[in-house]
Amino acid sequence: MRDIDVSVITDAIEKMCINANRHLPQDMQAGIKACRACEDGPIACTILDQIIDNFQTADKENVPICQDTGMACIFLEVGQEVHFTGGALYDAVNEGVRRGYTKGYLRKSVEADPIRRGNTGDNTPAMITVDIVPGDKVKITVAPKGFGSENMSALRMFKPSAGLQGIKDFILETVEKAGPNPCPPIVVGVGIGGNFDHVALAAKKALLRPIDSHNPDPYYAALEDEMLEKINELGIGPQGFGGRTTAVGVNIETLPTHIAGMPCAVNISCHVTRHETEVI
């Protein structure tokens, strides 16, 4: 057993919320620059230059990359040997988000009630996902997620007969429908399999993976490459003004599923795809 005081979690999350919102991860920076190098649309080149200028400005001046500092999506991989002390884990996570969003001058974008609305004033509650894993460590990932892109995401319960083609068409259709709204160039997180709820989580987790990585299964790694190419043939381009760079990455995560189904979720993210990880 390893005792971890939850205040350690609070402190880490406070710091990570601020950093994730100010410094775009290296994989995204490199991915956008690589797309700029092979862009052939004139307006698209100008826009990509400004997008690069923007994340470099945020880096240098230590300010938020985007004004939508998102809902704080917090993923915890908790080793089963860990024993939390000093308070409730979820309270500690929310306290970290509260402090980070307040001290870091980040936007508070969370409404207390989905229909009756009303801003909670401190960006809590966080969207928390906990996985129990072997070991005595805690891996924390903070991924602030904006809603311009979240709103363009989609989930469909396919019959198995729809096959691979059905999945491919659905991914392209979702990106096409999203058009300029999710601030392209986008990152596309795809979940396939599982059931209704787990497939959505798989798509969200796909967005946590660096865009220069591949699914370990060569079949899905090839599908990631194929879909990225097909998406970039749509011509939507940066900001939807036309161009090659519609997406900078496609990540696919899969799960075993039921004999009667083939769920698929497409979680769209933007050129400000933020994630920061720390192991305690």
Partner 1 sequence: MAEELRRVQLPLTPELARTLHMGDNVLLTGTIYTARDAAHERMTENLAKGIPLPFDPMNATIYYVGPTPAEPGKVIGSAGPTTAGRMDKWAPEMISLGARGMIGKGARQPSVVDAMKKYSGVYFGAIGGAGALLAKHIKKCKLIAYEDLGPEAIRELYVEDFPVTVIIDSEGNDLYKSGRAEYLKLHEENQKA
132-151: which residues touch partner 1 (CB under 8 A)? 146, 148, 151
Does residue 100 bind partner 1 (CB under 8 A)? no
Distance between CA 141 and CA 253 in Å, rounded?
Answer: 17
Type of residue numbered 96? G
Nearer to ligand SF4, 92 or 183 (CB): 183
Does residue 149 bind ligand SF4 (CB under 6 A)? yes
DSSP-derived 3-state class of residue 105 = coil
Nearer to partner 1, 117 or 260 (CB): 117
Category of 163 on φ-ψ map: left (φ > 0), alpha (ψ -120 to 50) or beta: left
242 binds, among ligand SF4, partner 1, none (CB under 5 to 8 A by kind): partner 1
Does residue 148 bind ligand SF4 (CB under 6 A)? yes
When binding is defined by CB under 8 A, the residue of 3, 5, 42, 81 that contacts partner 1 is: 42
Question: Cβ of residue 273: shortest distance to ligand SF4, in angstroms?
Answer: 8
Does residue 277 bind partner 1 (CB under 8 A)? no
Does residue 228 bind partner 1 (CB under 8 A)? no
Distance between CA 149 and CA 75 in Å, rounded?
Answer: 20
Nearer to partner 1, 7 or 46 (CB): 46
Distance between CA 109 and CA 150 in Å, rounded?
Answer: 13
- The angle at the Cα of 272, spanning 267 to 278, to the nearest 5 degrees, equals 85
169 to 208: interface string for ligand SF4, x by CB under 6 A = -------------xx-------------------------
Stretch that binds ligand SF4, among 9-17, 52-60, 63-71, 201-209 (CB under 6 A): 63-71
- The angle at the Cα of 51, spanning 49 to 55, to the nearest 5 degrees, equals 120
When binding is defined by CB under 8 A, the residue of 9, 183, 188, 211 that contacts partner 1 is: 183
- Going by C-alpha positions, the residue among 244, 248, 240 that lies closest to residue 180 is 240
When binding is defined by CB under 6 A, the residue of 14, 68, 224, 253 that contacts ligand SF4 is: 68
When binding is defined by CB under 6 A, the residue of 12, 66, 178, 199 that contacts ligand SF4 is: 66
- Going by C-alpha positions, the residue among 124, 275, 255, 116 that lies closest to residue 209 is 275
**What one-character DSSP code corresponds to residue 121?**
S
Distance between CA 161 and CA 262 in Å, rounded?
Answer: 9
Q: Are 222 and 260 in contact (CB under 8 A)?
A: no
Q: Are 48 and 55 in contact (CB under 8 A)?
A: no
Distance between CA 220 and CA 152 in Å, rounded?
Answer: 23
Tell me which residues touch ligand SF4 (CB under 6 A). 66, 68, 70, 146, 148-149, 182-183, 270-272
Tell me which residues touch partner 1 (CB under 8 A). 40-47, 50-51, 53-55, 57-58, 61, 63-69, 105-109, 117, 119, 121, 146, 148, 151, 179-181, 183, 235-237, 239-244, 270-272
